[in-house]
Amino acid sequence: MPVLSSPIKTETSPRPFSPSNNPFLTKSPAPYSRPASKRLIPRLEPDEVSAKVGLASLPVQHERMCNRKGAKFTMILAGCSGTGKSTFLNTLFGVPLDEHKEETSSIFFDIRERKYELTEGNFDLQLTTVDVPGFGAKMDNQYSWMPIVKYIDHYFRRYMLQEEQPDRSKLEDNRVHVCLYFIQPSNTSLSALDLESMKEISKRVNLIPVVARSDTLNRDELMEFKNTINKTLAAFDIGVCKFISDQEVIDKIHLVSPYAVVGSNATFENSEGKLVRARKYHWGMVEIENPEHCDFLALREILMSEHMLDLIQSTEAHYNAYRRLCLRDRLERAADNAFRQPPSLDDDEDGLASYLLYKKSLPWSTIMSQDDVDAEDAQLSNEVRKNLEEYVRKTELSIKEWRQSLVRKQAEFNEDLKSIHIRISELRNECHRLKNGGSKESDQDAASPILKNEYLGE
Ligand SMILES: Nc1nc2c(ncn2[C@@H]2O[C@H](COP(=O)(O)OP(=O)(O)OP(=O)(O)O)[C@@H](O)[C@H]2O)c(=O)[nH]1
């Protein structure tokens, strides 16, 4: 795996990528500065503590821990081909990542997964980037977002299964922390593919919409496009980083979102004589790290120097939502199976019977009074009784008809039998008469006992 030393740092970089800049790490827990409220536990002011216990060094401890462990960060770059995803990544880390890429053999044939190890100061970052070659380039793009969603769910499921094992010491966490969705620059609106994809992705992971190659729009067009995107996202209830718990961070992200980015690895001298990364045109230069020109710096701050840990932590909330759904589904299926045998509370080792009873009582207890429940129960049992009576009546009727048809058939068989016997007797008499050459009368007398006996069935 390639180990990349510090990404290019320019003077305009406001905060280099380091955990020491992260508010999560450096913010004091301020145990003594919370607003006064009714407390059950008495608060000890610093002067009342005879000796310092060292609480103030907790952030330092935390920072040390983070430095030791490093971090794992997984980022999906979604969007159509040619929207500048690879260029953006190289610009973000200040190094041509393409030259160091180590493609891992992903179990998903339609996903490109790359892993990098980045080091800055004494902090290690294991970065995984994921993209979908051919996204939006098929004849039918209705389900282009499927590989992304499958990838996210796969790693949630794997994490959940590992968590359920007795030994969790080797727990491997490859959950996705953020998805940058690259929107084609246009001054119209979002495509159906963009909408559908962002809707599905935002349910599972922190979504950050990005206006790709934003230097192809002028300032007014860009503002209008950003407004349209925000309105459309709100209308379709697509949340941007909606699981981050800190409202300040959410507000900060929403203030700029969607992020208009420009990517380039070429450096040029700007009007102040500084060497900066930029895209140069005959009409001028777009500086990547100039907030006047694009939102690259703001996005880098969110992803790297300021809020990476917020993104990582909020993944837990996304994961919990997934886990809740999975476990509920698993219980529902187990409950369905259990319904085949009536649940017994005496033998309720796994709590399933209690769950069934709880589930049975839940809709009523939350929305209906006991009288309503009784009335509902009475109506339900009435319906069941009526259905049962109807079923019994119909069954009895069909049995009766079936019995009558049997009797009718038996009578027909008897009739047939009777005529066959008569015919046999007649033939026998005829045989006797021919054999003896006698008169018809004597033959008849001799045959009559046979006829009589056979006819009577004796
Ligand atoms: N004008 C402009 N062009 C850009 C920008 N970023 C990238 N490009 C150009 O767009 C083209 C495609 O860039 P890539 O980074 O390869 O795009 P991609 O999304 O990774 O493409 P795939 O690898 O096919 O998915 C290249 O010619 C880049 O030089 C940008 O911000 N503005």
ipTM: 0.95
Helix axis angle for 308-339 and 352-367, nearest 10°, is 100
Look at residue 303 and give its three-state secondary structure.
Answer: helix
Q: Where are the alpha helices (DSSP H) in 368-439?
A: 370-436
CA of 81 to the centre of ligand 1 (A): 8
Cβ of residue 134 lying under 6 Å from some atom of ligand 1 = no
Cβ of residue 18 lying under 6 Å from some atom of ligand 1 = no
Cβ of residue 216 lying under 6 Å from some atom of ligand 1 = yes
With beta carbons less than 8 A apart as the criterion, state whether 152 and 321 touch.
no
Cβ of residue 86 lying under 6 Å from some atom of ligand 1 = yes
pLDDT for the residue numbered 348: 61
Counting Cβ atoms within 10 Å, is residue 169 exposed (0-12), middle (13-18) or buried (19+)? Answer: exposed
Blockwise average pLDDT, block size 10, the chain, 458 residues = 43 42 39 49 59 69 72 91 89 73 64 84 84 79 84 89 82 91 87 90 93 91 92 92 87 92 88 86 88 92 88 89 86 73 59 62 46 67 85 92 94 95 94 79 49 44
Cβ of residue 197 lying under 6 Å from some atom of ligand 1 = no
CATH (residue range 61-320) = 3.40.50.300
Residue 402's DSSP bridge partners are: none
CA of 85 to the centre of ligand 1 (A): 6
Alpha-carbon distance of 140 to 149, in angstroms, equals: 18
Strands (E), 161-205: 178-183
Counting Cβ atoms within 10 Å, is residue 15 exposed (0-12), middle (13-18) or buried (19+)? Answer: middle
Alpha-carbon distance of 348 to 366, in angstroms, equals: 25
Q: Which of 87, 218, 222 to mutate to test the pocket of ligand 1 (most atoms within 8 A of CB)?
A: 87
- Residue 215 in tokens: 């230097």
Tell me the pTM: 0.64
Position in ligand 1 atom list of the atom nearest CA 212: 31
CA of 284 to the centre of ligand 1 (A): 19
Counting Cβ atoms within 10 Å, is residue 268 exposed (0-12), middle (13-18) or buried (19+)? Answer: middle
